[in-house]
Amino acid sequence: MFRLAVQNSVFRAPAAFYRAFHATAVADAKLTVQQLAEKVDLKGQNVLVRVDLNAPLAKDNVTVTDDTRLRAVVPTTKFLLDKGANVILASHYGRPKGEVIETGKNGRLNPVVKPLESLLGTPILKMNDCKGPEVEEAASKLTTGQVMLLENTRFYAGETKNDPELSAALGKLADYFVMDAFGTAHRAHSSTEGVTKHVKLAAAGFLMEKELQYLQGAVDDPKRPLMAIVGGAKVSTKIPVIESLLEKCDSILVGGGMIFTFYKALGYNIGASLVEEDMVDLATQLMKKAEAKGVPLILPTDVVLADAFDNDANSAIASVKEISGDWRGLDIGPDTIKLFQSEIEKAKTIIWNGPMGVFEMPNFAAGTNAVAQMLATATQEHGAITIIGGGDSVAAVNQAGLGDKVSHISTGGGASLELLEGKVLPGVAALTEV
């Protein structure tokens, strides 16, 4: 029978039970931007680069509040400029749902122009569309080392439908394509997958290459023990990745709102805590699968409860077996933090996706902040490889000022999850074979 994983009842398997998962890294089989530059003289050539410019804006919808994604664009763009290429940047922005370019008011890429110009140290020619005669003419007149920015590709509904016409229109702008938007690589869109059919060569940019090396390397050939820390509100969004990680990890720590679905499966009273009733049976199956494989699936032993979903609510710490009434769990408790720390200290590769609680509320952020600090310590003091994926986890690490203390922060939430699940990413599969 599955037992709640506490310090004296975490099930273990002999080391021989664990198996390495070996596969050929996708990155090894695809052309990289470095190889593209070695293969082709790029001087004066147009190179279309798919990037992710989804930088958050202040309430004025003009001021960029976090330039992390903009900075991620710089290495590949500067490399191409140094090779004398003309760089045409393409990106979606938000979810305009195919609002036509003429009437689109929100979602334009204008706010990122000045910050990006500052980072690149060069002027940017901003277009008001991403296809058509005007854009094609401007692209044809680019001179060595210029940067042109296309308008939001998602102003066209065809973008997310991988429309061949839009793909061909984007392909007219350049002979070569570089995919450097890992966060959209799991989507077969016109600007990520379709366009590759209309260029001579398609390569992975430096950011894409780094993401694949870390994420794919972590699960295909990790330094062991390999640990996954999985959090977030819903089990339903994480079941595929947990199932996949059970085949690869030596241990899995679980936190966040999803833990209460597991507790419900174990027959515990969860009070007013979040639960996905339709996922209870699947949670039971996951725990049984973990037990059968001998992989410790470690759940919190205590939680921080609140009598309302509010930062200023009354709160209390309780064992997971002592939740009752209208109280709800909003964070992992201090005993769990100690338990997680003892487990994290043993790991050599750690993948973290999803917060431990409602970290947006300062009074319920202790668990998430503690895990962020543990991973920074594991990296800096114990030489562990630590990989952070998922928007909330990344935000928590950056909020704690620890972004430069871990090995790698992934720029793609959904893409990183799908890669960890073992799925082939369309935006990677479409690149030119080496």
Catalytically annotated residues:
69, 234, 391, 414
**271 marked as part of a ligand binding site:** no
**52 marked as part of a ligand binding site:** yes
Cβ 93 vs Cβ 53: under 8 Å? yes
**54 marked as part of a ligand binding site:** yes
DSSP 222-272: PPSSEEEEE-SS-STTTHHHHHHHHTT-SEEEE-STTHHHHHHHTT---TT
- Give dist(CA 414, CA 410) in Å, integer: 10
204, β-bridge pairs: 32, 179
**251 marked as part of a ligand binding site:** no
Which residue type, as a one-letter code, is found at position 299?
Answer: L
**97 marked as part of a ligand binding site:** no
**186 marked as part of a ligand binding site:** no
Angle of the 239-246 helix axis to the 280-293 helix axis, nearest 10: 10
**95 marked as part of a ligand binding site:** yes
**154 marked as part of a ligand binding site:** yes
Q: What is the DSSP letter of 124?
A: E
Residue 404: how many other CB atoms lie within 10 Å? 10
Angle of the 68-82 helix axis to the 110-120 helix axis, nearest 10: 50
**238 marked as part of a ligand binding site:** yes
**224 marked as part of a ligand binding site:** no
Cβ 389 vs Cβ 410: under 8 Å? yes
Count Cα atoms within 13 angstroms, Cβ side, for 12.
Answer: 9
Question: How many residues can be counted in the chain?
Answer: 434
**391 marked as part of a ligand binding site:** yes
Helix, strand, or coil here: 182?
Answer: helix
**94 marked as part of a ligand binding site:** yes
Token digits of residue 15: 């080391």
- Gyration radius of the chain over CA positions: 23
**92 marked as part of a ligand binding site:** yes
> By C-alpha distance, which of 36, 54, 19, 419 is closest to 215?
419
Q: Who's near 373: CB < 8 A, 6+ residues apart? A: 400, 402
Annotated binding site for (2R)-3-phosphoglycerate: 69, 154, 187
Binding residues are 52-54, 69, 92-95, 154, 187, 238, 360, 390-393
Which residues are documented as binding site for substrate?
A: 52-54, 92-95
Binding-site members for ATP are 238, 360, 390-393
